[in-house]
Structure 1
Amino acid sequence: MNALKNPLPGKGKSGPATARKSSRLRGTIAAARDKSCSHRALILAALAAGTSRIEDLLESADVLATAGALKELGARVERTGEGVWEVHGAPWQSPEVPLDLGNSGTGVRLLMGAAARFDLTARFIGDESLSSRPMARVLDPLRAMGAEAKSGEDGRLPVTLKGTSVLKAIDYRLPVASAQVKSAILLAGLGAAGDTLVREPHATRDHTEKMLPLFGAMVSTGQEGAETVIRLPGAQALSPAGIAIPGDPSSAAFPVAAALLAPESEITVTGVMMNPARFGLYDVLKEMGALIELLPAGERCGEALCDISVRTSHLSGVTVAPERAPSMIDEYPVLAVVAAFADGVTRLQGLSELRAKESDRLAATAALLAANGVEVSIEGDDLIVTGCGPAGVPGGGEVKTRHDHRLAMSGLVMGLASKAPVEVDETAMIATSYPGFFDDIAAIGGEID
């Protein structure tokens, strides 16, 4: 893939890292920019006729992979300053090289949906982790709309997609709660004949629905019984926009958890998006007894923001029902770490979707805890954690990260509060979502080496 104009210097670290018990974590840090919104902003800007300006884009490996793929598809994508990007949309064309999305499930699935509406052929590839993740859940509805797709074994990457400018609209009920699948269908639906409907038995993050109107699109959301129904009229042309990306509640979870667990700590994370479909972790933490204060902090991308102030807290185990999973699906590994320091048993229910992430996160999270002396078990799709309470988590283990950025960061957060240091075997993948993680932890006084 050709390099972007004004490419970024290298960011992040690689290799193993060890986190040691830290106390008195203090300070104020800005939340890392939201990865989900960053992907969507780039893709919608590349579909619009004209030049869009995006401020505070998350410059992580995942998002940069999406930017590079858009360039190969014919958009002009340029970095004009730190976090500031300009995208000039154009009709998409067949790329001359495979589109390598690295580790980005969001990037590859949304790009497949957006590309399906053009007369082009594109081959999508990724790294070992992404190549193990399911793609049939996106390809099946796109085929129903008229696109053609050939995939690897069991519907996985590599995928060769042949789009068409004569897509037809569909009325589709999501078999799994997936904002990526929903968004792919909606992006394809922009070029379809008729109204595209997506039905959600369980509501998922709605960033695409909120961002589409910023680019001039019509989309509506309503309820039919227990289902959320999104309706998008077809044959819509997008207009360029100027937008700023909000802070990522998933990334903010790591410094927040560290401050909850490390002794005598008190920090503030500013500018965090409060989207209800992304904020479930913070509700659960409050139920566990976390001392968390939320202060309104304006709005970006149609999303309300807050500043999160958090102090060291005495926590109790809880049961988290399966219907809460979509609002915190990416935060379960770090929630399990928090549960390890609580009094009593925490039962996290209905986590089947964790098996289809960057790794089998359900098994990997259990292994992370067990390696550090925490009693943990899996029953069906439930994770049961017996907290160590005031006695504290022993620590001293090595975390096998399995190419998973959230496992790596969760293991390091555990080490900031456990009795003995915790080592993770690799950290390079942290740059896929939170390239400033090490700097932010250091800024509040955390010790990772």
Structure 2
Amino acid sequence: MSFRISGDVRVPGDKSVTHRALMFAAAAQGESRLSGLLPGEDCRSTAAVLRALGCDVPPPPADGSEIVVRGRGIDAWRAPAEPLDCGNSGTTSRLMMGLLASRPFASVVTGDASLRGRPMRRITEPLASMGARFRELDAPDRLPIEVTGGGLHGIDYVSPKASAQIKSAVLLAGLGARVPVSVTEPALSRDHTERMLSALGAPVRTETSADGVRAVLGAWGEPLPPLDLRVPGDPSSAAFLAALALLADAGELRIRGVLANPTRTGFFSLARLMMGLLHWERGRAVGGEPVSDLVVRPSRLKAVQIGGDDIPAAIDEIPVLAILAARAEGETRITGAGELRVKESDRIAAVVAALRAIGAEAEELEDGLVIRGGDHPLRGRVTTHGDHRIAMAFGVLAALPGNEIEIDDRQCAAVSFPGYWELLDSLVRGG
């Protein structure tokens, strides 16, 4: 049975930009106007945490309409009465610990069972070296953690890995404490924090040397100005719809207004290496970020070797790359992705187990996976482990005619892509 794709669609606002826009608006002095915010559960957790700190931050509306955040400056934040529940959001917990490290009060950061299983010392150790104090209240290196901030000094931190969350936590601590900081990482990680700070006038710069990439924030005593921002579409969300279009038999899909930041477009570059037919159109700048329309056409995909420098800009999209690999000609090998083992789930193990459960050929590597493509019908039940990206990736295969795949937890997709299943179904029915 053939499947023709057609559509002109938008995806929800970018999750990374939404988190930062809410945090900066709450730390700013004045009224920020934000629209296109992702209304997913992770971003609602960020808004709820900020409200618990005394900030006037409405929840992101379901329709992406404008909200007004009335900021009184970060010095107006107050100690929360209860632990700060970050839900399932690693970005909320880790970036907020950077901001909380600069505040002269104690607070407890916690989250759901999945988040409480993720490592946190990668964040707390550099912040502790700046003068913040942390007390692990349960298991070592895990939430809940009590943060006691204030009295920070500057730091020149060398990160052992390229991580936007480590880098952003240190930069935000420096911003809140008004002290100079720098973070050197072996390769450039997502740079949304630097771009947004630069757009707001902060003295931030990026330097490249033989030692890696260094993000530098100078001491800045000025009040953070309010934002006026429409959040662009999330490229991680666009990747699932692009995968559906690549695996169709005919037609074309246009996804409008997608964030095209080079640190986030690794999936699309790798899909092109797999002989995928996709390209960007109508490039423009929004809030310091590049934004474009993405046009995708069905393609005969070929296997590729992915590793090293390919990984940082595609780390969240490895599950959906694995889906393409399962339908590509040849054997795809993905290495250098050990970070996937400490995401919302062990994504290496989860993806391999799910592929095998539906009849695809895959095996685990310590830091990646090997997938052998095929074109036979896929049937079986996928265990998502509550991981939104696992659910959505295998949802693409489930949507294709001829496959019979059950997803055990479709609801977890709401973390990052509310309305995903309805949009997916409309594209399949309309094809």
Q: Name the CA distance, whole Å, in 1 between partners of 2:209 and 2:295.
A: 38
Task: Kindly provide the amino acid, as one letter, of the partner of residue 203 in structure 1.
Answer: L
Q: 1:434 aligns with which of 417, 423, 426?
A: 417
SS in 2 for 1:184: helix
1:164-209 CA distances to partner (integer Å, 9 max, x unpaired)? Answer: 1x21111111112210111011000113464201001111010000
CA contact (8 A) 1:259 1:311 kept: yes
Give the equivalent residue in structure 1 for 2:384.
401
Q: Name the CA distance, whole Å, in 2 between partners of 1:156 and 1:80.
A: 28
Q: Name the CA distance, whole Å, in 2 between partners of 1:150 and 1:80.
A: 32
Q: Name the CA distance, whole Å, in 2 between partners of 1:85 and 1:224.
A: 41
CA contact (8 A) 2:186 2:211 kept: yes
SS in 2 for 1:410: helix
Give the equivalent residue in structure 2 for 1:47.
27
Q: Using CA pairs below 8 Å that are at least 6 residues apart, which structure has the higher relative contact order?
A: 1
Identical pairs, percent:
42
CA contact (8 A) 1:268 1:310 kept: yes
SS in 1 for 2:140: helix
CA contact (8 A) 2:184 2:212 kept: yes
| 1:103-118 equivalences in 2 (<5 Å) | 103-118=88-103
Give the equivalent residue in structure 2 for 1:351.
337
* CA RMSD between the two structures: 1.6
Give the equivalent residue in structure 2 for 1:222.
207
Q: 2:287 aligns with which of 279, 301, 309?
A: 301
TM-score by length of 2: 0.95
Deviates more, 1:191-200 or 1:169-178: 191-200
Give the equivalent residue in structure 1 for 2:176.
191
Give the equivalent residue in structure 1 for 2:428.
445
After TM superposition, the runs of 4+ consecutive aligned structure 1 residues lying more than 3 A away are 79-82, 191-194
5+ long unaligned stretches in structure 1: 1-20
Give the equivalent residue in structure 2 for 1:367.
353
Shift of 1:79: 5.6
1:116-144 CA distances to partner (integer Å, 9 max, x unpaired)? Answer: 11112111111111111111111111111
Give the equivalent residue in structure 1 for 2:51.
71
Q: Name the CA distance, whole Å, in 2 between partners of 1:79 and 1:409.
A: 24
1:406-445 CA distances to partner (integer Å, 9 max, x unpaired)? Answer: 0000111111236331111012211110112123213322
Corresponding position: 1:271 with 2:276: no
CA contact (8 A) 1:142 1:185 kept: yes
Give the equivalent residue in structure 2 for 1:18.
none
Shift of 1:22: 7.3
Q: 1:80 to 1:222 in 2, by over 3 A?
A: closer
CA contact (8 A) 1:101 1:125 kept: yes
Shift of 1:235: 4.4
Task: Kindly provide the amino acid, as one letter, of the partner of residue 14 in structure 2.
Answer: D
Give the equivalent residue in structure 2 for 1:126.
111
Q: 1:446 to 1:163 in 2, by over 3 A?
A: farther
Give the equivalent residue in structure 2 for 1:139.
124
Shift of 1:266: 1.9
Q: Name the CA distance, whole Å, in 2 between partners of 1:418 and 1:379.
A: 31
Shift of 1:326: 0.5
Task: Kindly provide the amino acid, as one letter, of the partner of residue 412 in structure 1.
Answer: G
Give the equivalent residue in structure 2 for 1:334.
320
Q: 2:307 aligns with which of 321, 330, 333?
A: 321
Corresponding position: 1:177 with 2:172: no
Q: Name the CA distance, whole Å, in 2 between partners of 1:193 and 1:46.
A: 16
Number of equivalent positions: 423
Task: Kindly provide the amino acid, as one letter, of the partner of residue 108 in structure 1.
Answer: S
TM-score by length of 1: 0.91
Give the equivalent residue in structure 1 for 2:404.
421
CA contact (8 A) 2:397 2:403 kept: no
Shift of 1:446: 5.1
5+ long unaligned stretches in structure 2: none
Corresponding position: 1:381 with 2:363: no
1:292-342 CA distances to partner (integer Å, 9 max, x unpaired)? Answer: 121124221211111111111101001012221100000000000000000
Q: Name the CA distance, whole Å, in 2 between partners of 1:417 and 1:444.
A: 11
Give the equivalent residue in structure 2 for 1:57.
37
Q: 1:187 to 1:393 in 2, by over 3 A?
A: farther
Q: Name the CA distance, whole Å, in 2 between partners of 1:101 and 1:25.
A: 38
1:246-295 CA distances to partner (integer Å, 9 max, x unpaired)? Answer: 11110000011011112224211111111111101111111111111211
Give the equivalent residue in structure 2 for 1:85.
67
Task: Kindly provide the amino acid, as one letter, of the partner of residue 413 in structure 1.
Answer: V
SS in 1 for 2:29: coil
Task: Kindly provide the amino acid, as one letter, of the partner of residue 427 in structure 1.
Answer: R
Shift of 1:89: 2.1
Deviates more, 1:360-369 or 1:261-270: 261-270
Q: Name the CA distance, whole Å, in 1 between partners of 2:397 and 2:140.
A: 35
Q: 2:189 aligns with which of 193, 198, 204?
A: 204
SS in 2 for 1:128: coil
Q: Name the CA distance, whole Å, in 2 between partners of 1:127 and 1:80.
A: 20
Give the equivalent residue in structure 1 for 2:148.
162
Shift of 1:74: 1.4
| 1:5-20 equivalences in 2 (<5 Å) | none
SS in 1 for 2:9: strand
Shift of 1:93: 1.1
CA contact (8 A) 1:177 1:202 kept: yes
Q: Name the CA distance, whole Å, in 2 between partners of 1:235 and 1:301.
A: 20
